[in-house]
A and B are shown apart, each in its own frame.
Chain A
Amino acid sequence: MAAEQQRGIRVTQAELLCKDACGYYGNPAWQGFCSKCWRERTRKEEAVRQETGPHNDAGSPLTFSKFEEKKNMEKGRKVNTMRRLFWGGPSPPKRPESSEGQAATLKAYQSIEPGDFTSFLKLLRNPSSQRLQSRCTAFLNTMEAYHGLPVQKQSDLVQDFYQNIAVHFSSLSEVQVSQMMEHIEKLIMTRLHKWVFCHDSCDDEVKDLALQRRIRSLNWVTPHMLRVPFPDERAEVVSDPFLPAITAIIEMDAKRAPQDKLTCICKCSQNVFQALSTSNSEPANADDFLSGLIYVVLKANPPRLHSNMQYVIRFGLPHSLMAGESGYYFTNLCCAVAFIEKLDGPALNLSPEEFEGYMQGRRAPSKRGSERQNMARETQDQLEDLKGRQEKVDQGMNALKEQLQHWVQSVQAQIDEADDVKDQSVLLLEGKESNNNTCLTETEC
């Protein structure tokens, strides 16, 4: 009987385990699988369903957008041929019925918050902005078809497109036009990035490598040599104040649209000003800023810097490059790169011999300061680590205390309960006994 019982238990245990035999317990709610296997199965099933029926399922964004793209491409082509047939010129005629819808769309465009690219895309999907969308799609298709053209030609095409499309928004105010153009730029260039960035027809890649090597060979340059206002060595140095700026400029390569790259440069520059303000109470002037930026570029050695800058020059919106704050920062970055390329001894207050010595690695800059900084940083990290661990221990202690209290309480409760039961059973027993006694006495009687 004991053996049978054991077998029974064993059977149920096997049933409890996951059906995929992964060793975990299954759950009837997941059809006998464990949570992990169940999730994997459902995901697979979903993928199969999406592949088989892409047209029914509008929720799958990738396939659907492709489908719509094709549709628009066709439409754009159709419109173009119609236009050519009827009007012979590239200038689109204004149809009275569409102008009303267009006005409504323009109004909707006006309400977009600056920088809100998602709502711009949503509006672009509206039927009323069909023309704008088909123009963009048609242009993108042309550009993709001609991606073998020299990059300068492509740049001209894109810049022409910007000018033509700006007419579309001519009824808006200047600020709004530039906002819309930023959206258009982002839309176009995000798609074109892979075709035109670091193009085969130019020697961007070679220049990138040359610049990278040049920066690497200048790794010995200290902020002191560049005359960057740097926090005093004696002062408590936590970390390089220029670190946020360095991170920002490295991030630039990851962005696709020229304006996003410019935003990274702006962020970097603002961080440079922030860092300068820690060692100088007066507002930073251009000399301080430029030397700070040069230091940041040398430290960061941003990936594909030359390509990135050329890309912004070729495909960025002219108004954001020539005027405005972003234009100023971009110009300063150009200056920094030009300075680095032509850097020589006198510019660093070194004699030509000293400069050569550093370049060939015969001299090493005094590492003392940086070593001390590193040590300080390490100690700081260790302290942080210790602090975290201490907190964890404290938390664990509190939890344990609570658990102990709970346990004591539960034990107490159990004892109380047991006592009660005991009392009751004693009473019962006593009662039974007395009953028996009475019975006995009764029978005796």
Chain B
Amino acid sequence: MAAGGGAGNKTYSFKVVLLGEGCVGKTSLVLRYCENKFNDKHITTLQASFLTKKLNITGKRVNLAIWDTAGQERFHALGPIYYRDSNGAILVYDITDEDSFQKVKNWVKELRKMLGNEICLCIVGNKVDLEKERHDGMMETAQAEERAKGNGASQSTSSRRGVQIVDDEPQAATAAGGCCSSA
């Protein structure tokens, strides 16, 4: 059902989970993506944990349901409940925080083990506007890691500047869809 299937004018709907440690900016990322807003007084939504985005990819209507997940350490064991039946996962880390990158690596392993290649992964290094605080060699590691796993995409973003918030679109064979940079 969630996988869409079928042809014609059907609307595809996909479930995408946002995984990552607390404070890496998952919420800001998703708010920037869905509402193009960052830490703004004009944010009208009461919550940023469940958001939907309508897309049109090569003439096909796609509904993305983006599920924010609780990222704090104490909630780590709940991961499987969240990512069950999801079509895609966005793994977010903070480029200034090496631990958060380690977490992402663990997530990749866990997801591949639990869901195999059913799920489309996208690794996002957030907060590129804090470039100078970046830990050396982290990005390179990320890309190497992901190439080895295959079927993934790696992006660096900044919710503050609105750089390259990339959406993850499993059904549209190519892993990455359109960009919506603003800034």
Which A positions have Cβ atoms within 8 angstroms of B?
174, 227, 270, 273-274, 276-277, 282-287, 289-291, 318-319, 322-325, 327-329, 331, 334-335, 338-339, 342, 346-347
Contact = CB atoms under 8 A, between A and B. Distances in A.
Query: What 4 A-B pairs come out closest when comparing CB atoms?
Result: A286-B68, A285-B27, A283-B48, A290-B70
Given A274-B46, A322-B2, A338 B72 contact: no
A373 to B, nearest CB: 24
Contact of A174 (B10, B43, B47): B10
B81 A328 contact: no
A282 B39 contact: yes
Contacts of B82: 331, 335
Contacts of A339: 74-75, 77-78
A346 B78 CA distance: 15
A276 B49 CA distance: 13
Contact of B85 (A287, A322, A346): A322
B1 A328 contact: no
Contacts of A270: 46
B65 A323 contact: yes
A283 B77 CA distance: 25
Given A324-B65, A335-B82, A283 B46 contact: yes
Chain A contact surface mostly: helix
A210 to B, nearest CB: 19
Contact of B47 (A284, A322, A334, A342): A284
Contacts of A346: 74
A323 B2 contact: yes
B96 to A, nearest CB: 19
A394 B11 CA distance: 63
A323 B70 contact: no
Nearest to B30: A285
A319 B78 CA distance: 22
Contacts of A322: 1-2, 15, 85
Contact of B78 (A227, A276, A283, A335): A335
A323 B69 contact: no
B1 A318 contact: yes
Interface string B43-82: 1011111100000000000000101111110110110011
Nearest to B85: A322
Contacts of B10: 174
Contacts of A324: 65
A342 B70 contact: no
B13 interface: yes
Given A286-B68, A322-B85, A331-B84, 16 more contacts: A174-B11, A276-B47, A283-B27, A283-B31, A283-B46, A283-B47, A285-B27, A285-B47, A285-B48, A285-B49, A285-B68, A286-B49, A322-B2, A325-B50, A335-B75, A346-B74
A227 B72 CA distance: 11
Interface-centre pick from A174, A284, A286 (highest chain B CB count, 10 A): A286
